[in-house]
C-alpha cells in the first residue's frame, strides 16, 4: 500500500492538486499493479519562506506570482 508525500509551494489551486494526485495514482497503480484505492497521496503546501535551495530561501529568489 504505497504512501506518497509531495511537498510543493503553497498557492496551487484545488484543480492543480487534483491533477497531481490523479497522475501520481495512475503511475503508481500502473507500475506496482495495486488498485487505486491502495494508493495514498499526501500533498503538503509549504510557504516559500520555509523552503530553501542552495542556502537561500525560496521567497528571496522566486519570481512574483504570475511571472513564472
Active-site residues, by number, are 2
Q: Hey, what's the cell of 32?
A: 506496482
SS (H, E, C) 5-43: EEEEECCCCHHHHHHHHHHHHHHHHHHHCCCHHHCEEEE
Amino acid at each position: 500500500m504505497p504512501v506518497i508525500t509531495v511537498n510543493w509551494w503553497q498557492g496551487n489551486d484545488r484543480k492543480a492538486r487534483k491533477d497531481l494526485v490523479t497522475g501520481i495514482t495512475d503511475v503508481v497503480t500502473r507500475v506496482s499493479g495495486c488498485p487505486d484505492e491502495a494508493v495514498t497521496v499526501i500533498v503538503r503546501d509549504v510557504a516559500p519562506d520555509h523552503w530553501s535551495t542552495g542556502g537561500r530561501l525560496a521567497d528571496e529568489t522566486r519570481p512574483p506570482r504570475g511571472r513564472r
